[in-house]
Amino acid sequence: MKRIPRVGLLGRAIPVVLAVATVASCSVASDLGDAAGGGRTSTSSPASGAAKAPATPGDPNPELARFYTQRPTWKSCESEDDDERAQAKAFRCATFTVPLDYSRPTGRTIDIAVTRKSAAKPGQRLGSLLINPGGPGGSGVTAAWWMSESTIGKPVQDVYDLIGFDPRGVDRSAPVKCMTDAERDAYVAEDLPEDPVRAEARAKERERAYAAECQSRSGELLPFVGTDNAARDMDVLRAALGDEKLNYIGFSYGTYLGATYAERFPTRTGRLVLDGAVDPAADNLNQAIDQQVGFDRSLRRFAEDCAGRTGCALGTDPKTAPRKAADFLDGLQEHPLVAGRGGRTLTSSLGWTGVISLLYGDKDTEWKYLRDALADAIVRRSPDALLFYADNYNGRDEQGHYDNSADAFVAIGCADGAGEAPTPAQVQAALARLKAEAPLLSRDVTAEDLTGENCESWPFRSPAKPHAIRAQGSAPILVVGTTGDPATPYASAEKLAGQLADATLLTFEGEGHTAYGGNSPCVDGAVEGFLLRGTMPPKGKRCS
């Protein structure tokens, strides 16, 4: 059984069997570029001031009014990380309260962490701009601190309050917890047996044990951490911030959260940007295959590029370089590398995770890091660099402590809907496509890897199913897709833009996951033109 890293989580992964559903996230950097020019102007307004929307989110339940009328109490932000603490100085932090179960608003409540950087030019303020970095499981609080420095353009921060929040189940907001640090260390490093029968048995054993640990430590939260509830929390936050409309930029999984909000509250949408789009109608199996194909192609392009550069550890032949990379990573199962410090071992699972993490990025920066890391491992037999990138992907700090992003990823994904087991015909079609289009990542994949019901061991059974989101009646929405995006393939952006009742697709012709934030002045100008003036880029706009 082939174990491939599960992609997502701000460039972090959970190595699991392929059959589990995957949606991905991002890391981005930014600067304001030239305006895209042309295009229609949205009639939507990012209205600021006192909340004018109804106090309740659809049904007239007066018991929800107390949540909608609350106002956060802002204070200094706290972090144990020195770098984060420096980034947070420009922000204020607070919590707001939401019902754990929206169908029982008088019952248990939870607190949602939120952070705010006020608009630099308050006299020109347009309102609040919420961000979600993806995952699911990425901290919006931490992301806001970093994105204020490297992603969100200064003209946007001049006129918007920048708002980050941790969705329920994530980090500072009633976090789901399933594993201890020691258990997670063993989990992410384990390579399943090569024998398919033993591998399948071990995979099921791991899944059952993991689900049981989650139930034991976070059982009361698990039914309520899904995306629909997070979208309802966003509407409470919108009102608590005093905004009539929600202005939002979501990356990767954040596009699904944003689309879900637009579906539930279409008349409360302001200016929504969905970058690195997830197709909400895709079934879990094909979404997983799409991602593996995307990363296989990205690895191939990287290796071919590497072969043309001096000192490439994969050789000088672009035809054989991709297979050399995959052979080395697969070979770590039989011949793992021991790190020089701490004695940790680079297994095949961790090696693939480190490589996948760097394929998220652009070829000018992350591809260079990947060339260097592979040279260290292949030529100098030092696994330290790949271990570092795998740790970053998995949410492990230098002290060996993990954040909860991996646990939140699984909990939210399963709460969003446990998919039905694919039919034998669907499995065979998926396997044939995987073998044909992702040969580097699928050498040992068997039909058994693709069977079974997603989240079959999970203690909570959600009735939700993948479906197209139309969001009829919403304000115009800007969808951004990257042609070389391995985590959320470009076709997903095309599909989401086609589903939404009022959406425009902006295309970035390039590599890496997501586009806005320093990858292209053309993309940055188009996105910020929409956020600042409501001007949509022309239909069919393509940037490079």
To the query of whether residue 502 is one of the catalytic residues in this protein, the response is no
List the one residue out of 296, 318, 360 whose CA is nearest residue 512: 360
Is the separation of the CB atoms in 3 and 17 below 8 Å?
yes
Please state, in angstroms and as integers, the Cα–Cα distance from residue 286 to each residue in 22, 102, 172, 431, 454, following that order: 10, 32, 33, 10, 12
Say how far apart CA 152 and CA 146 lie, in whole Å. 9
Alpha-carbon span 425 to 414, nearest angstrom: 24
List the alpha helices (DSSP H) in 219-246: 227-240
**Is 485 tagged catalytic?**
yes
**In the structure encoding, which two tokens stand for residue 225, read together?**
């951490």
Q: How many residues does the chain have?
A: 544
Degrees (nearest 5) of the Cα angle 4, 512, 407? 45
Active-site hit among 191, 513, 520, 524: 513
From the list 485, 502, 520, 524, the catalytic residue is 485
Q: Which residue bears the tokens 């054993």?
A: 205
- What is the token pair recorded at 325? 């990379």
Q: How far apart are CA 86 and CA 501, in angstroms?
A: 42
88, 77 Cβ separation under 8 angstroms = yes
Contacts of 342 (CB under 8 A, 6+ apart): none
CB-based contact 453:247 (threshold 8 Å): no
DSSP assignment of 246-293 equals EEEEEETHHHHHHHHHHHH-GGGEEEEEEES---TTS-HHHHHHHHHH
Torsions phi, psi for 300 (to 5 deg):
-65, -45
Structure tokens at 404: 């909860």
Q: What is the DSSP track for 16-43?
A: EETTS--------------------B--
**Residue 116 to residue 161: CA distance in whole angstroms:** 6
513 is catalytic: yes
Element (H, E) at 184: helix 181-189
The residue to which tokens 């959970």 are assigned: 14
CA gap 180, 386 in Å, rounded: 23
- Active-site position among 25, 44, 252, 382: 252
Catalytically active residues are 252, 485, 513
